[in-house]
Amino acid sequence: MTDANLPILMEPRQLADIAEREDLLIVDLSDASIYARHHIPGAVRLEYGKLLASRPPVMGLLPDEEDLAATLATIGLSPETHVVAYDNETNNKACRFLWTLDVAGHRHFSLLNGGLKAWLAAGLPVDDKPRLVTPSRYPVRYSDEHCADKAYILEHLEDPEVIIVDTRSAAEYAGNDKRAFRAGHIPGAVNVEWTQAIDRQNDMKFKPAGELREIYESAGVTPDKEIIVHCQTHQRSSHTYMVLKSLGYPRLKGYPGSWSEWGNDPETPIETG
């Protein structure tokens, strides 16, 4: 759920029209050098690495609740704030941030469709001055509603009501591109590479909703199922998470450890090909 008047997927001109709302916080997850050069007026920058924790070889994990609470406090976030997030690349970092908010129980958020690229392409104003932020207090309590771990996936491998979506490349999925101790995929997972959702001819925005539904439903990824998305470290799959959320899929989970955990555990079952 989000503000009933604000869409989960927000267009640049929609944001421009409401950018000065007091209950709105625009969060930029771009590189520091890009933010210093140009960003959406009023946007506060958030360092992407602060959203992650690692226990090598497992990467892409959620930080401790206390650490995330401290990070969110530095950008002035409150539970009532509506967040609009973007970055300067393909919005993967922004999507990972919004998934993290979902896991933390923050429901008021939107993704800027196409990110900074689309904002600039629309000819909208930019600023080079950092936003001064009054730190807040933000309580963080993680829920498993939108987060799956290895044990949960093992428990549901043969559950017909659960679809695991591997958003990595076809080569990674087949086991030809090895990025962990073992290569391949989780048994029964379907492969829909995250880039299939991107409209490269339209400022890296999401493809039209009808086209997206056809892509996912043709792979068996249907709204009546529980969907678990993963990649290597749940950055690429966070993009897919937000695509499916924008399409109204009601039961979504992300797997933060992803293949960096599954592929490096000698005990987990895998398939290749």
CB half-sphere exposure, 194, CA atoms < 13 A: 23
d(C-alpha 158, C-alpha 152), whole Å: 12
Triad 209, 258, 68: Cα angle to 5°? 85
Please name every residue paired with 25 in a beta bridge, in sequence order, or none if there are none. Answer: 83
- At 5 the three-state DSSP class reads coil
d(C-alpha 50, C-alpha 69), whole Å: 11
Catalytic residue numbers read 231
Whether 206 and 239 have beta carbons less than 8 Å apart is answered as: no
Position of tokens 């401790």? Answer: 64
Query: What b-and-e string marks burial along 142-178, b requiring 16 or more CB atoms within 10 Å of the CB?
Result: eeeebbbebeebeebeeeeebbbbbbbbeebbbbeee
Please name every residue paired with 206 in a beta bridge, in sequence order, or none if there are none. Answer: 198
d(C-alpha 183, C-alpha 267), whole Å: 13
CB half-sphere exposure, 6, CA atoms < 13 A: 26
d(C-alpha 186, C-alpha 150), whole Å: 11
